[in-house]
Structure 1
Amino acid sequence: MTIKSSAARCLGLAMLVLGLTTPAAAAPPAPALGHAGRWLTDDQGRVVTLHGVNMVYKNPPYFPAAGGFGEQDARFLAENGFNAVRLGFAWNAVEPQPGVYDDTYIEQIKQTQQLLARYHIHSLVDSHQDAFNESVGASWSGFPAWATFTDGLPVQPNPGFPLVYFTSPAQNQTWTNFWKNHAAPDGVGVQEHYAAMWAHVAQRFADQPYVLGYDLINEPWPGWEYPTCFPKGCPRFEKDVLAPFEAKAMNAVRQVDRTHLVFYEPSLTNDFGTPNWMPNPTGDPNAGMSFHDYCFGPDDTCVTNGLDRAAADGVVGVVTEFGATKDQARLTRLTDRFDDAMASWMFWSQPQNQTPDHPQEPPTGPNLMDPAIVRPYPQAVAGTPQQWQFDSTTGTFTLRFSAHRADSGQPFAAGARTEVYLPQSTYPGGYQVVSQGAEVVSAPDARLLQLTTSPGQETVQVTITRR
């Protein structure tokens, strides 16, 4: 552990507020992903799409390797076409006492990130919680007990996560006090501690390759204000309370990492389809919106709400959670929907749930994904996507894109490659490619189909079918 005196803690927090912390000097060994409007982009300007999984180990000591995640699991994900992981950590473990950081714990998270990087898997480093802390009805302690202030209100009635959000006085009072920036035991506001914690974490990842960025907080809950969020959303809470809080964390990250994307999240109520009012907290142009899709009913408004809100602020939107089910028909419908929206996504597997009737299973390969979500998709497009679709019944995949860059509208240099992942499970006997405007340059039946756009072409159309 790194232990700071009270004076040093206060000085460090003051430096964050004043913007005096020295930024990380070293450039990342591999170029970080950026964005052009709604699109993620790589250092060549190609549009990148992510298919990923969540990996949040909620049992002490709260890091995936302790649950069994290792080399063969990273390989398993890469072989099944996953190029992203939302890698969760617990504030409770990072800062077990106010101003006291456990660097050994952060190093464990970093080692998993480095393992994923060796397989070219991007990590979204995620500060994760679900219902704050076990003392107020959570199934695990993502946030620390020293930041939990109930004002003596009871936890009961407590039906367990996630219904505890709607029923527990202690749960809602804790969140209300968090949004009021209640002083921690050392007299410093809990929000200042949270921002300083993020700076301490982010500086460990600032120079690492294959870091997608930072997800500032998972599913923030409005506290006692939640009844006002249904059905029209939380405009006051998101604009006047949540955005200023996430701005503190965002600014703290920017003191130590000016390169990687920083993702902010709207209120948890957006997961169920309420309108999204969340603005870019600081106007940072290198930002993204992390949002979730647990919409009910036949009309899935979560995707359009999130992408439209992100587009309004000129940032990239990523579906960082969906699923939590083994219903393969539902998963196919959802991933079809994401394809229609040309969205990047990260799956939440049902074995990761930690609810009263479902203990969390180890974060090993098969527990992190489902066969229904392994599907063809364009990992990198030397152009601007216009449409892609996959018919899981026939195995037919189609892709259409403009040959011009998303960031400038200019054509790519000759030889720029478009890369499409094609699963072995979808094409066990191989595949055929019909391409208009591009040449196939990869080996026959390669898992990663590579194409180069023919000179003078404005639009490329590709159709892949089973052999």
Structure 2
Amino acid sequence: MEKIISRGKSFYDTHGRERIFNGINVVDKEPYKPGKDSVAFADDLSWIDEFAKRGFNIIRLGTTWGVIEPSPGEYNEPALASIVKILDRCAEKGIYAFLDMHQDLYSSEINGSGDGAPKWAVLTDNLKAKPHKFVWAEPYFWGKACHRAFDNFWANKEVGGKGLLDHFADMWAHVAGTVKDHPALFGFDFLNEPFPGKDGGKVFKKLVANVVKTTLTDKRIDKLGMISDALSGKKRHKVLERYDGEILKKVGEPAHALIAEFDTKRYMPFINKTAAVVRKVTDNGIIFVGNCYYSNLGIPCSNTPVMVGGQSEEKQCFSPHGYDFAVDTPLYKYALNSRVQAIFDEHKRTQERLNVPVIVGEWGGMSDGTDWFPHVKYILDMFDKNKWSNTYWTYFDGLLNMPIMEDVLCRPYPRAVTGNITGYSYDREQDIFNLSFEQEREFDVPTEIYLHKQAAAIEADGRYEIEKSGENSAVLKVFTKPGSHTFKVTF
């Protein structure tokens, strides 16, 4: 497998081809228990074979700090071996993986609803967590124990004479040392959706207060119509439609300063510190920069480029997350495209400022039925317009046989292009895929386009061949000369 590098706002392989990655999250959030010697999905690896047939060429492979380092300085080697086992099969099938150290609510030790840090690294100063009543994320909003655990983490409070951030960085160095030379290694996603701690609670209060204020004062919101919808059983879902992308941006404005302070004073120093420790072990792997939990909702991200040894890190990317707030509920079929557009427009501004490639680390979600599929298709079209790679949230047993897989996620895309992509798209109604790019020099390797089903017609200004990858899927390989190129595939 070719090593992948980042240059400007794109990924390239060692041949110099621009690369696009289309994948899925595969994350084990189960807490550590004595005897847990494997991450999830490592026993039966047939799902990797199925991913390859469906054109997926990357996974976000997640576990938790608690599983990897159940006791200070003692690493779970069997669990790491199971990760290598997954990477081995990925390499056989041409699939890359970036490693994610997942967390939600800091740790499962907070109230049993989260995941992340081991028990020994949960410093709440004797504050006790309460079980959530409505949604799992409640400790983020008003959980003092959760807030204190995060604050002590960011403050590098000591355990056994060593700071928590130092423990965490050394854990990552050990993980990196295990996988550093693996051909399937794509990069390191140090910490899922970092949370600001007590300031995160302040952000929540500001957002709630501004929702009320905006609802009462913003003339763009039809108050009488909203009340009428709220009183109507059949139209109650329309209340959410009043809060479109523009309103969402306005609601988040009071939180900008607190999130900017967290990004610049806590999160990025943490990323730089961890990256420096990992780079002492290996130069391989792209360093991922994520976004704060609240930037999932469109609050601007103030992250800065990764710096190692006073120099800008050569291999880095931005990996934002984003969801409509109806995600994973029966109301997801009413998700607003304008809301998720506003979220990812903000992420696009961050990418332009950082001048790095993007892999959207989490997006999508799940719900009943199929009425939410158009929203997911809209998001994918948006990613294509931005030339963004992505990993859908999330894989679980049974996903491969669900309609969302064959009807939406399995689609054509250019996975390797011998030049600089100027645009690509998949028109689902016309069932046509288009790609255009500029090629500056000769290549010994072809442009590769994944075809999710048999093509009825192919228009390409170069010699091409089709390599079967599944029962109906294939890879279109086109050999071209320098110049401007346009391909069209009709299904």
Q: TM-score, normalised by structure 1?
A: 0.83
Q: What is the match of residue 263 of structure 1?
A: 288
1:249 aligns with 2:249: no
Cα pair distance change 1:142/1:369, threshold 3 Å? farther
Cα pair distance change 1:68/1:44, threshold 3 Å? closer
CA displacement at 1:462 relative to structure 2: 1.0
Q: Identity of paired residues, percent?
A: 26
Please list every run of 5 or more consecutive structure 2 residues that lacks an aligned counterpart in the other structure: 208-251, 326-335
**d(CA) in 2 for partners of 1:465 and 1:191?**
52
1:276 aligns with 2:301: yes
Q: What is the match of residue 414 of structure 2?
A: 378
Cα shift readout 1:32-65 (whole Å, capped 9, x = no counterpart): 2001211111010100100000001223567876
2:451 counterpart letter in structure 1 = L
Helix, strand or coil for the counterpart of 2:436?
Answer: strand
**d(CA) in 1 for partners of 2:357 and 2:438?**
19
Equivalent residue pairs, number: 412
**d(CA) in 1 for partners of 2:400 and 2:92?**
16
Q: What is the match of residue 193 of structure 1?
A: 167
**d(CA) in 2 for partners of 1:78 and 1:338?**
21
- 5 Å-filtered alignment, 1:311-390, equals 311-326=352-367, 327-349=372-394, 361-362=396-397, 365-366=400-401, 370-371=405-406, 372-390=408-426
Aligned partner (choices 245, 250, 260) of residue 235 of structure 1: 260
**d(CA) in 2 for partners of 1:238 and 1:63?**
35
CA displacement at 1:118 relative to structure 2: 0.9
Q: Is the 8 A contact 1:293 1:322 kept in 2?
A: yes
CA displacement at 1:140 relative to structure 2: 4.3
Question: Greater CA deviation, 254-263 or 190-199?
Answer: 254-263
**d(CA) in 1 for partners of 2:281 and 2:138?**
37
Q: What is the match of residue 438 of structure 2?
A: 402
Cα pair distance change 1:367/1:264, threshold 3 Å? farther
Question: Greater CA deviation, 53-62 or 362-371?
Answer: 362-371
**d(CA) in 2 for partners of 1:319 and 1:194?**
24
Cα pair distance change 1:203/1:365, threshold 3 Å? farther
2:98 counterpart letter in structure 1 = L
**d(CA) in 2 for partners of 1:446 and 1:183?**
53
Helix, strand or coil for the counterpart of 1:321?
Answer: coil
1:243 counterpart letter in structure 2 = M
CA displacement at 1:443 relative to structure 2: 6.2
1:85 aligns with 2:85: no
Q: What is the match of residue 452 of structure 1?
A: 479
Question: Greater CA deviation, 322-331 or 393-402?
Answer: 322-331
1:285 aligns with 2:260: no
- 5 Å-filtered alignment, 1:88-167, equals 88-156=62-130, 158-159=132-133, 160-167=135-142
Q: What is the match of residue 458 of structure 2?
A: 433
- 5 Å-filtered alignment, 1:4-43, equals 30-43=1-14
Q: What is the match of residue 56 of structure 1?
A: 27
Cα pair distance change 1:202/1:363, threshold 3 Å? farther
Helix, strand or coil for the counterpart of 1:143?
Answer: coil
Q: What is the match of residue 216 of structure 2?
A: none
Aligned partner (choices 466, 470, 476) of residue 442 of structure 1: 466
Helix, strand or coil for the counterpart of 2:287?
Answer: strand
Cα pair distance change 1:290/1:262, threshold 3 Å? same
Cα pair distance change 1:46/1:207, threshold 3 Å? same
**d(CA) in 1 for partners of 2:173 and 2:398?**
27
Q: Is the 8 A contact 2:452 2:473 kept in 1?
A: no
Cα shift readout 1:150-169 (whole Å, capped 9, x = no counterpart): 12223136234223311211
**d(CA) in 2 for partners of 1:288 and 1:246?**
12
Q: Is the 8 A contact 2:462 2:480 kept in 1?
A: yes
The RMSD of aligned alpha carbons is 2.3
Q: What is the match of residue 169 of structure 1?
A: 144
Aligned partner (choices 347, 363, 370) of residue 306 of structure 1: 347
Helix, strand or coil for the counterpart of 1:389?
Answer: strand
2:410 counterpart letter in structure 1 = V
Q: Is the 8 A contact 2:179 2:185 kept in 1?
A: yes
Cα pair distance change 1:377/1:67, threshold 3 Å? closer
Helix, strand or coil for the counterpart of 2:476?
Answer: strand
1:420 aligns with 2:449: yes
Q: Is the 8 A contact 1:158 1:167 kept in 2?
A: no
CA displacement at 1:293 relative to structure 2: 1.6
Cα pair distance change 1:441/1:170, threshold 3 Å? same
Helix, strand or coil for the counterpart of 2:320?
Answer: strand
The structure whose residues are more often helix, as a share, is 2
Aligned partner (choices 15, 24, 35) of residue 44 of structure 1: 15
Cα shift readout 1:98-136 (whole Å, capped 9, x = no counterpart): 111121211111111111111110001111111111221
